[in-house]
Amino acid sequence: MDRILLTADDVRSLLGVSNRAKLIERLQSLYPAEIAELIRDLEERDRVILFRLLQLEQAVEVFEEFEADEQEALLLQLSKRQRAEMLDEMAPDERADMFAEFSDELVQRLLPLMKPAEQRDVQRLMQYPEDSAGGIMTTDYAALPAEMSISQSLEELRKMVDKKETIRYVYVTDSTGMLIGFLHFEDIVFAAPDETIEGIMRQRVISVSVDMDREEVAQIIAQFDLNVIPVVDAEGKLCGIVTVDDIIDVIEEEATEDIYKLGAAGKPADSYFGAKLFTVSRRRITWLLVLVVAGFISGAIIEYYEVALQSLVALAFFIPVLMDSGGNAGTQASTVVVRGLAVGDIRLRDVGRVLLREFTVGALVGTAMAILTAGRALLTQKNPLFGAAVGVAMFATVCIATTAGAILPLFFTKLKFDPAVSSGPFITTVVDVLALIVYFEIAKLLLGI
């Protein structure tokens, strides 16, 4: 079928002339993400009408493209029967993630609409922390007992093909549910019919525990170049699988979260326009108030050195230059270290090497910046000692900034906090305070003020 893209105007036109058969035909050629974007462009009434025209399987795929607030709004427009069909057909992990975003009241309204088995499944998945392997896994995996014959297993897989996330990888369990091996689908297809699963299975299985952090799961999948990884409990029993598409979502969410932390912007919202203004303000104000208080410290330092400033007003000219340069250098260092920690390039045992490396970089960069600022200071005052004071202060500030930018993420990691918190405005504020103290003390020492 040729793909003919639809616009919101096309949909309105076809709905207006009640030519729904043609609209349904054209919708069949679109990808779920395209239909979801199309629905977003429509008015609320037309959104529901268009969504109801979709066949159940396609409707579920489109529904899973929406953010939680959009899913809630759409669900409430459907009948109880339609809600029940949608919820039962959704992938277990997608359904659990959606319920985790809904209010308790809405979850209690929706759960009774589902089949008992689906209710138990979603309740079990919701018990796991959102940022754990259990929180992102799906229970729609293909597993076979070790003693089953190849001919029997092929029959079982035919029954599973439309119900499981993937049958490309088939996991092998013993009588207690313990994960003991795995197979590729082609291993089964090309095996002798009277052979058993246990006889051809691969015994070296890379797996993760249900409570492992999802970022660690992503690292393992990347390290071993996997498409799927099984999830086991403390006893080694198979609980679910994490697929590479789940990991792509994790990477996007973690990157978004880190970017928000770098800017001290609070917890990220599901969508920019979907977040309420009061909620956005509340999330941002905490860090802003902390940074304002920290700014008072910088003001107090300037006040403390008021006599020095009055003795040589030209010192004030270079305060913004030093503070900005130190903040920028510190942010660069912390960003590099945070990234290294995130991808596993840097570990806590590397603290000595990291500090030496960043201090050396700071010294090299600081030398160049010191020469530039010392020259500018010399042109301002025609006083070699003043130029030297500014230059030495710049050198010291950059060295301190890169060292602080390196050590703070490691310090936060040691305390089990997200190292991204130490970047952006936080490191800038810390370096501002240190830069002011260094600047005025060097000026007092060299200029005798």
CATH assignment at residue 101: 1.25.60.10
Whether 261 and 272 have beta carbons less than 8 Å apart is answered as: no
- Is there a single domain that holds both residue 232 and residue 120? no
- Please return the burial class of 334, using the count of CB atoms within 10 Å of its CB with bins 0-12, 13-18 and 19+: buried
- Is there a single domain that holds both residue 293 and residue 231? no
Q: How far apart are CA 135 and CA 312, in angstroms?
A: 61
H or E segment and range at residue 209: strand 208-209
- Is there a single domain that holds both residue 291 and residue 420? yes
State the residue range of the domain holding 293: 277-447
The answer to the question of residue 161 being in a domain is yes
The answer to the question of residue 258 being in a domain is no
- Is there a single domain that holds both residue 231 and residue 323? no
* DSSP-assigned letters across all residues of 63-101: HTTS-HHHHHHHHTTS-HHHHHHHHHHS-HHHHHHHHHH
- Is there a single domain that holds both residue 231 and residue 303? no
The answer to the question of residue 267 being in a domain is no
H or E segment and range at residue 340: helix 319-343
- Is there a single domain that holds both residue 311 and residue 244? no
- Is there a single domain that holds both residue 320 and residue 435? yes
250, 285, 300 - which closes a domain: 250
If DSSP codes are grouped into helix, strand and coil, which group holds residue 142? strand
What are the backbone angles phi and psi of residue 362, rounded to the nearest 5°?
A: -60, -40
Q: How far apart are CA 288 and CA 302, in angstroms?
A: 21
The answer to the question of residue 271 being in a domain is no
The answer to the question of residue 270 being in a domain is no
- Is there a single domain that holds both residue 117 and residue 150? no
The answer to the question of residue 25 being in a domain is yes
The answer to the question of residue 269 being in a domain is no
What domain count does the chain have?
A: 3
pLDDT tens string 372-406:
999 999 888 888 999 999 999 999 999 999 999 99
69, 101, 128 - which closes a domain: 128
- Is there a single domain that holds both residue 207 and residue 289? no
- Is there a single domain that holds both residue 227 and residue 355? no
The CATH number of whichever domain residue 281 belongs to comes to 1.10.357.20
Distances (CA, A) of 331 to 343, 425, 432, 437: 18, 8, 12, 19
Q: What are the tokens at 20?
A: 């729904």
Provide the pLDDT for residue 262. Answer: 61
- Is there a single domain that holds both residue 246 and residue 316? no
Q: Would you say the pTM of this structure is higher than 0.85?
A: no
Provide the pLDDT for residue 266. Answer: 55
The answer to the question of residue 259 being in a domain is no
The CATH number of whichever domain residue 165 belongs to comes to 3.10.580.10
- Is there a single domain that holds both residue 385 and residue 436? yes
Rounded to the nearest 5 degrees, what angle is found at the Cα of 334, between the Cα atoms of 330 and 335?
115
Question: Each residue's pLDDT tens digit in the chain (449 positions)?
Answer: 455 577 888 888 877 666 778 888 888 888 999 999 999 888 888 888 889 989 999 999 999 999 888 999 999 999 999 999 999 999 888 899 899 889 999 999 999 999 998 999 888 999 999 889 999 999 999 999 999 999 999 999 999 888 888 889 999 999 999 999 999 999 999 999 889 999 999 999 999 999 999 988 998 998 899 999 999 999 999 999 999 888 888 877 777 766 666 665 556 555 656 667 777 777 677 777 877 887 888 888 888 888 777 777 778 888 899 999 998 999 899 989 988 887 778 888 999 999 999 999 999 999 999 999 999 998 888 889 999 999 999 999 999 999 999 998 998 888 887 777 666 677 888 888 888 999 889 988 888 77
